[in-house]
Amino acid sequence: MTRTTKWSLFAGVAAFVAAVLPAAASTQPVHPAAALIEKGAVAMRSDPDASKRDAEAALAALRTQPDVDLEIRARLLLCDYQSERNQQALDAEVAAIGALLPRSHRPGLRAGMLVCQGEMRETLGDNAQALAYYEQAARVASEARDDEMIAGALFSRGYVLGLQGEYARGLADLRRAQGLYETLDMRHHALTAMNGVAILYNRMGDYVQARDIYTAALAQQREAGMLREQAVTLHNLGRAHEYLQEWAEARRSFTESLAINREIHYARGEAYALRGLAAVANGLGDSRSALATLEQAAALQRETPDARLRAQIDLARGIALHGVGRLDASAAALRAAIDVFRSGEARGELAASHAELASVEAARGDWRSGYTQLALAKQVSERLLRNQIDQRFATLRVEFDTASKEAENALLLRDIQANERALAQSRAVRRLQAVVIALAILLVLLLATLAIHQRRSTLRMRKLAHTDELTSAPNRRAVLNRLAATLAGEGAGPCTILITDIDHFKGINDRFGHPVGDEVLKVMAQAVRDELREPAYFGRLGGEEFVVVLPETALAEGCATAERLRERIAAIDLAHLCPVGRGITTSIGVTESAPGDTPSTMLQRADEALYAAKRAGRNAVRIYAANGPSPTIGGLLPS
């Protein structure tokens, strides 16, 4: 899941600022700022700009009639608003709250300031520091015995624990926060906490359950007219559909979220919705449409310091750029995304970024880098999957332990009702059996998924291991293994092989450097590739030597192929590739298979013919028949 899933899950510190106002004596008038603060707390879930205006109006009223606690609440509203938009403005509000706290009559309000600071660190992608703030906020609120502040701190802490893969602890915090909000009769906040639970299910890979929770929450939010919360939930629902590859449903959810965000002028929400629509376009193979949508998202993202949003846009852009063949730009975008996801411990997105970058590097011909990225993707995916399994077990164990304790307490209160106690124990056993069965099924499914993933990764790495990373041709091991199979085939006809070697290649490296030599090798490999037709194949033996295998081809026809290849290479113009300032030539040794031949014996004869071509002045073709060498004249085969 993304950072957007928490835009308003805490409703900023609206949960704090909607606090029960200190009871006033019936004979005292209500402060005019109090109603504005309550109104702003409600507006935070529908129209953040309206909430900001209400908070500023409350501060104006407080200038003529000061009240420390009300001023802190008003500034907490502004903290929530600025945490997604402006670091300097947020710092100013935090500094003002810190100056007011020593005179506050409600110690728990300090937890609200700490949560605000944590929200900003989370927006910037520093989840470790954010968690430290939330831990401190939970301690402060608990010491003050302020249930509302405890619920707010637990909600924020639970969300970040989920980001870091500690799902069991995160779910415990979120469910406790939901229970506290329900006890305080804060229905909207309890609904937000329920959304947080759905987010963690999404992160644990249970997308279907998350989708169902979002759908239920959305119906209640629409009934309550909570526009901003609807936009958030619609985005989260779109992400669940995205993970399930339900593209039509995902597009519908992201489109509706985008419309609501535009209606309330919420630029950050628009950017997340646009990123979602771009992901749908990528999923459907429409890379150009995805790039156009991401341009809009990036423009909006620059209005917020949200590093996670920027990284998600970079990931989607990298996928789209790969789709249109802009490989260098794709690699740069994916590497930028990886830097953010790695620092934020976003393992799912980090694995996806490494896997996509591996594909891009392979397409660019950088097989070594592609192999490295693929290995990293596999490593992160396996760590994520193991953590999901462990956390699922831990979550179910906590749920079971909690249920058992509740059942035990109920039995202690009804110890005289023996029949009911026996019935409750029987139900507990059945629940335990269901949990064990569910765990077994889940484990089998997860292990099967891991096995499939490992097999696919192994096949891709095997392919990389048999390819020459510079020229993209089969390497020595691959081509010689295939030659051995060709020679061993039943009823195999004559087989001719050519060994070709670039003339004076060392001089090119010495004079112009190895990068130029590498370019010449690539050109050489492409020339060989262009000359051959199935069933012929070739590979790089090493250095500047390549071997060409011509199955079912007699010596005369093989020599003709060698001569055509020699002429093609001599005609290459290297001026546009490297500063060699001249063409290149090649010497070619040719031999035909004989009964009992192996790759080693054929290579030995072809090498002898190659050296004969070198001694003859280079840029020549020489053959070595099974019964002894045969010369050529002037680089041409004898008639």
CA 525/CA 538 separation, integer angstroms: 9
Q: State the DSSP code for 53.
A: H
pLDDT of residue 575: 78
Q: How many contiguous H segments (helices) and E segments (strands) does the chain have? A: 25, 6
DSSP result, 115-166: HHHHHHHHHTT-HHHHHHHHHHHHHHHHHHT-HHHHHHHHHHHHHHHHHTT-
Q: Which of 301-315, 340-354, 385-399 has the lowest mean pLDDT?
A: 385-399
Rounded average pLDDT over 342-371: 85
**Distance between CA atoms of 218 and 199, rounded to whole angstroms?**
14
d(CA 219, CA 233): 10
The CATH homologous superfamily for domain 205-305 is Tetratricopeptide repeat domain (1.25.40.10)
Cα 139 to Cα 137: distance, rounded to the nearest angstrom: 5
According to DSSP, residue 29 is labeled P
Edge-first strand listing for the sheet containing 628-630: 537-542, 545-550, 496-502, 586-592, 621-625, 628-630
Band the pLDDT of 569: cuts 50, 70, 90.
very high
pLDDT in tens, 17-33: 444 334 433 445 688 88
Distance of CA 584 to the CA centre of its chain: 46
Q: Would the pLDDT of 37 be above 90?
A: no
Question: To the nearest whole number, what is the mean pLDDT of the chain?
Answer: 83
Residues near 54 by beta carbon (within 8 Å), at least 6 away in sequence: 36, 37, 39, 40, 43, 77
**Whether domain 1-20+32-194 has CATH 1.25.40.10:** yes
Q: Judge whether 106 and 139 are in contact, CB under 8 Å.
A: no
Class level of CATH domain 476-630: alpha beta
Are 619 and 562 spatial neighbours (Cβ–Cβ below 8 Å)? no
Beta strand segments in 456-542, E:
496-502, 537-542
Q: Please state whether 637 falls in left (phi above 0), alpha (psi between -120 and 50) or beta.
A: beta
Quick one: pLDDT at residue 159? 85
Domain with CATH 1.25.40.10 in the chain: 1-20+32-194, 205-305
Q: Which helix (H) or strand (E) holds 586?
A: strand 586-592
pLDDT band at 409 (very low <50, low <70, confident <90, very high): very low
Decide if pLDDT at 274 tops 90. Answer: yes
Which SS3 state, helix, strand or coil, does residue 446 take? Answer: helix
Q: Does the structure show a pLDDT above 70 at 548? A: yes
Per-residue pLDDT band for 579 (boundaries 50, 70, 90) equals low
SS3 336: helix
The residue with greater pLDDT, 105 or 421, is 105
Q: Comparing 360 with 43, which gets the higher pLDDT? A: 360
The predicted-structure confidence for 370-400, as pLDDT tens digits, reads as follows 889 888 878 877 776 666 565 555 555 555 4
Which pLDDT score, from 0 to 100, does residue 608 have? Answer: 95
Q: Assess whether the previous peptide bond of 535 is cis (omega < 30° from 0).
A: yes
Q: For residues 301 and 312, is the Cβ–Cβ distance under 8 A?
A: no
Give strand ranges (E) for 125-277.
none
Q: How far apart are CA 486 and CA 497, in angstroms?
A: 11
Determine the pLDDT at residue 18: 43
Closest-CA residue to 1 (of 189, 184, 214, 243): 243
Q: Find out whether 355 and 374 touch, Cβ atoms under 8 Å.
A: yes
pLDDT at 413: 54
pLDDT above 70 covers a percentage of the chain that reads 86
3-state secondary structure of 630: strand
pLDDT the model gives residue 19: 42
Using the structure block, give the residue that is written with the tokens 């100013």: 92
C-alpha separations of 397 from 8, 132, 439 in Å: 30, 26, 10
3-class DSSP assignment, residue 19: coil
Transcribe 101-113 into DSSP letters. GGG-S-TTHHHHH
Six-digit token pair at 172?
A: 């415990």
Going by pLDDT thresholds of 50, 70 and 90, the confidence category of residue 341 is confident
User: Which is more confident, 198 or 578?
Assistant: 198
Q: What mean pLDDT is predicted for residues 163-189? A: 85
Determine which of 35-39, 67-71, 318-322 has the lowest per-residue pLDDT on average. Answer: 35-39
Place 629 in a pLDDT band, splitting at 50, 70 and 90.
low
Whole-number pLDDT of residue 85: 78
Question: Is 43 a residue whose pLDDT tops 50?
Answer: yes
Comparing 81-85, 378-382, 408-412, 581-585, the range with the smallest average pLDDT is: 408-412
Only one residue has tokens 């090798």, namely 521
- The answer to whether residue 240 scores a pLDDT higher than 90 is no
**Which pLDDT belongs to residue 1?**
38
Q: What is the pLDDT of residue 220?
A: 83
What's the average model confidence in pLDDT over 620-627?
88
pLDDT in tens, 245-256: 899 999 999 999
SS3 assignment for 230-279:
HHHHHHHHHHHHHHCCCHHHHHHHHHHHHHHHHHCCCHHHHHHHHHHHHH
Positions of CATH 3.30.70.270 in the chain: 476-630
Please check the confidence at residue 578 and state whether its pLDDT lies above 70. no
